[in-house]
Chains A and B, each alone.
Chain A
Amino acid sequence: MAEHHGSVSDSKHKASAANVGASFSGNGRTSPVANVSSGAERALSTGLAQPAGWQSLLSFTILFLAWLAGFSARLFAVIRFESIIHEFDPWFNYRSTHHLTINGFYEFLNWFDDRAWYPLGRIVGGTVYPGLMVTAGLIHYVLNLLHVTVHIRDVCVFLAPVFSGLTSISTFLLTRELWNQGAGLLAACFIAIVPGYISRSVAGSFDNEGIAIFALQFTYYLWVKSVKTGSVFWAIGCCLSYFYMVSAWGGYVFIINLIPLHVFVLLLMQRYSRRVYIAYSTFYIVGLVLSMQIPFVGFQPIRTSEHMAAAGVFALLQAYAFLQYLKDRLTKQEFQTLFFLGVSLAAGAVFLTVIYLTYTGDIFRLLYTCYIPIHIPIIASVSEHQPTTWVSFFFDLHILVCTFPAGLWFCIKNINDERVFVALYAISAVYFAGVMVRLMLTLTPVVCMLSAVAFSSVFQHYLGDDMKREIPAVEDNSDDDDKRNSGNLYDKAGKVRKHVSEQDKAEEGLGPNIKSIVTMLMLMLLMMFAVHCTWVTSNAYSSPSVVLASYNNDGSRNILDDFREAYYWLRQNTDEHARVMSWWDYGYQIAGMANRTTLVDNNTWNNSHIALVGKAMSSNESAAYEIMRSLDVDYVLIIFGGVIGYSGDDINKFLWMVRIAEGEHPKDIRESDYFTPQGEFRVDKAGSPILLNCLMYKMSYYRFGEMQLDFRTPPGFDRTRNAEIGNKDIKLKHLEEAFTSEHWLVRIYKVKKEENRAPLDHSPRSTITNKQKYTSKKVWFALRCDHPLWVV
């Protein structure tokens, strides 16, 4: 299996490298021609259509192979396990896509889900980015129209791998606009297999990011195209692509800030042109209107602070254009007075705004937005929201992370309008990726592009020279290519190229030996990259996490299917309207697989509700029972990894439950109570007594003390935390064990109904006399108040 993949990506790399050589040699050679390009040469080059045909065939082949390699590298999970939806969020997406295909689009938009967030419910239609579901639904519809009958689940599973191919094509297009075709092909190959993107787009990971990266890259491509051409056509295309992006992922905010930033920097660099004006004005207006069509986004684009930069730049651009216009019409004297008046007015307005913002304290909020998540427990508890270590950078990008600064260097050295864009893209994305691990995803495409630029600049000179004499035909064709891509914007780069061309004679002096050594070593690096990507994909990113696998000493594999076992049990053995309480991580899975009502889920919109569940888990049994009664809980589901050593279980997450509960109920829950006096979190005898008697602990370790896993360890030995549990004699009063899966991974408890009227002591009855009548009534009343269901 792995070998197969390796060979695919390797062959692709060889192909790409070969092509890079070809196209680059072309570029290097022909640039002098391009520099003095005129109509005559254009005519000449069109005459030699044959090599151009070869080149595009090669490009098509490479792109196709990149798509194929990207697709097949993402299939590890499907082949090892089965075609199944992974993890947590995809289950919700799958469930809503299912709803969409069964009930139709409008029903989906109006869907009120009463099975989530009991008793609050959730308005799904208005709180999701529908792009993903609509895309999958559409594909399913079209396929069924063609009588290709596939289940919607398979469409969902394979959507992200298919879109990765589209991503690599749009990356190719964007890089071609920025640099040249060779770099574009290299970038397409990089993005097809780079782990930073595979992490979010393996088969089965049916998530927004899978299609959003395609939309992101395509929007950027169309934006660069519209800046280069200044045509409304491309700008409208950009808006439509932006609309798709807004419908698909909240990360569209990145676009709506990066594009204005690009325009702003262009203004600062005095690179204003009519093309920029047309492109941005069209994009802002149409894009704004389109983005407001998504119910979840609504009026945010004109309200919230993260969209204000776009509006500000729009106003600035209009003012600038207006000044340019006036400049032509007015005398210099008039213009100067007008200009100073305008500038002082604008400065005054800005000053007042800043004063106002400072006064209300908003400015600090604006400045320190990136720090806020760290202080909120529910956000901090998600591992994706952590800052990024260098290891994760290297893990996800390998050689690319070391070489992309070189590409950035080349881009800035030969700057033009669109390279300004890619430089800004790189700098902003690298900042965000540093702050939060999950934003590595937005960094990955630009790193691929810039690394491709770096590698292709090297290959251009080290593969090229030998080709010059051998393939003279390529030379002519790519001049055509060059002109087609660059238009009139390549003037700056052209100067440098001219430089290069003068070197041509001297260049031969480097000698074929050095050149071939450099080429070989560079190819070796790329091969190592391909191998690394395959290894990472296979080992780190291809686990469905719904089904676990363990390996025996002899290499044979055990499938641990406890999750689905338990969810299926719930589905078959409980009442259809039973309410299941669990920690929010498992909400989507319970809803998706067990089809039961949940209290909280991964859409963490209501912190106090989550805190209530956390409080129930961290209180003692009777206090928890009160909460569970008030929330109408029928079953409690927990994940316990102590038997097989699964580290992502609820006891390891427990401190977050306590923290979140403490945030809302500081009087009842205190984090420090769950630590030993030395400040440790321990489950053994030395652990704090409050921990040893809380509901989560009791449910996790109920009857675990009777179980001896092997002969070396005492009974009740927790393999995850490597400790013998401290409370082996657990008695449950209000709960009873309903189900425990094969490896004890999932445990389900039934919440007992209130017992029949508690047997009254004899004493109050016997002492009912005339005098005591008043008191006895009160007792009865109190009972009634406490348990309203009892009476009804």
Chain B
Amino acid sequence: MLQRILQSVAVDRRIVPLLKRKKMYLKVLYSLLLVLIFYGIPSTGQKKKETLLSEKVGQLMDWTGKRSVIRMNGEKFRRFVKAPPRNYSVIIMFTALQPQRQCGVCKQADEEYQILANSWRYSNAFTNRVFFATVDFDEGSDVFQMLNMNSAPTFIHFPAKGKPKKSDTYELQVRGFAAEQLARWVGDRTDVQIRVIRPPNYAGPLMLGFLLAVIGGLAYLRRNNLEFLYNRNVWAFSALCFCLIMTSGQMWNHIRGPPYAHKNPNTGQVSYIHGSSQAQFVAETHIVLLFNCAVTLGMVLLHEAATSDMDIGKRKIMCIGGICLVMLFFSWLLSIFRAKYHGYPYSFLMS
């Protein structure tokens, strides 16, 4: 509708210079007639489209009011996204959320997408220019066929005018599916700037509070016997755990999120150690943690063997066990390191 009016205004503007230059009344009449024709002939179709459009927008707004991401099936998709009278953009996530599809990425992407849609839905700038929708493979597989798509999740922007171009498909591989990235892409495509507001994560503080409550409760229950707070073994053990966790690179895992291990798709062989020294698998860090732990244990055993007041046989066993732990696991660690750090010349016991 709006476009129509704009078009006619444009026609009018074109007419004005004509008026000035030619000064021919006949022409004016003619052009007036033309205007009338423009207004007159399509008016019935126009009205129909207008009502259809407002109906569609109303329907979409209604849905958005209920859920910020509209779920679509094939029929809805054809009606609201494919069918022509539109003055709104639709961002659609094509996904496969059913559990039997086993799409882990889809779930993460869905969460981010929900955050984005909610940020838009509850922002002050919310208008009916952009809608967020999703099509699940199990509800609208015909849509997938229609668009010739075979991977999920995929984000596609359907602009208000024309067909989606190449850049209307979000480059998931390159940009990731963080809500902020999606928002930038939406901003690029539709000029609607969305400020992503993540709902504050209450899980962390809640867990912390719960933990504190449990500890406090325990302390209260055992208030007659708070000796365990003075137990050095507990403290030493937790400090050791923390150190071992950090030195085995768990922080790297936490930040980078590497896979647990790598399975070679051709041979089916599972490798637990990453070949390069710049990266690591989760399994590998667990192994290293264990090895470090064993060496530490060996050192402590050596010390205990010399100082404890057990009988001599046990102490000898402790001593030998300790030195074996230290030597064995250290040289094993060294060999793993050697496998990763190419060109390292030294090894011990095993290569």
Contact = CB atoms under 8 A, between A and B. Distances in A.
B239 A427 contact: yes
A406 B322 CA distance: 12
B246 interface: yes
A413 B232 contact: yes
Given A409-B240, A517-B323, A374 B312 contact: no
A517 to B, nearest CB: 7
Contacts of B341: 391, 395
A375 B329 CA distance: 38
B99 interface: no
B30 interface: no
Give the secondary structure class of A's interface.
helix
Contacts of B333: 394, 402
B224 interface: no
A406 B251 contact: no
A560 to B, nearest CB: 20
Interface residues of B, number: 66
B319 A510 contact: yes
A394 B337 contact: yes
Given A528-B348, A679-B174, A434 B249 contact: yes
* Candidate in B188, B255, B329 with the most chain A CB atoms within 10 angstroms: B255
A-side interface size class? 35 or more
B309 A499 contact: yes
Interface string B220-259: 0000000000001101100110111011111110111000
A393 B308 CA distance: 32
A35 to B, nearest CB: 15
A518 B251 CA distance: 35
B327 interface: yes
A36 interface: no
A518 B302 contact: yes
B218 interface: no
Contacts of A503: 306-309
A461 B306 contact: yes
Interface stretch (B31-39, B42-50, B290-298): B290-298
Contacts of A510: 305-306, 312, 315-316, 319
A405 B239 CA distance: 8
A434 B252 CA distance: 7
Interface stretch (A308-316, A330-338, A382-390, A692-700): A382-390
Given A390-B280, A391-B280, A408-B236, A434 B251 contact: yes
Nearest to A395: B341
A390 B248 contact: yes
A671 B174 CA distance: 9
Contact of A402 (B249, B250, B292, B308): B292
B151 to A, nearest CB: 13
A161 to B, nearest CB: 25
A433 B175 CA distance: 29
Interface string B312-348: 1001100110010011011001000100110111101
B184 interface: yes
A514 B320 contact: yes
B299 A406 contact: yes
B228 to A, nearest CB: 15
Interface in A485-507: 496, 499-500, 502-503, 506-507
| 4 closest residue pairs by CB, A with B | A461-B306, A434-B251, A406-B299, A412-B236
Interface of A: 364, 374, 387-395, 399, 401-406, 408-410, 412-413, 415, 423, 426-427, 430-431, 433-435, 454, 457-458, 461-462, 496, 499-500, 502-503, 506-507, 509-511, 514, 517-518, 521, 525, 528, 531-532, 535, 539, 666, 670-672, 675, 678-679
17 contacts: A393-B247, A394-B333, A394-B337, A395-B337, A401-B247, A402-B329, A402-B330, A410-B300, A413-B233, A430-B242, A496-B307, A509-B316, A510-B305, A510-B315, A511-B316, A514-B319, A531-B346
Given A408-B243, A499-B307, A514-B316, 20 more contacts: A387-B251, A389-B279, A391-B280, A391-B340, A392-B277, A395-B341, A402-B333, A403-B295, A403-B296, A405-B293, A408-B239, A412-B239, A413-B232, A423-B239, A434-B249, A454-B299, A458-B302, A500-B307, A671-B175, A679-B173
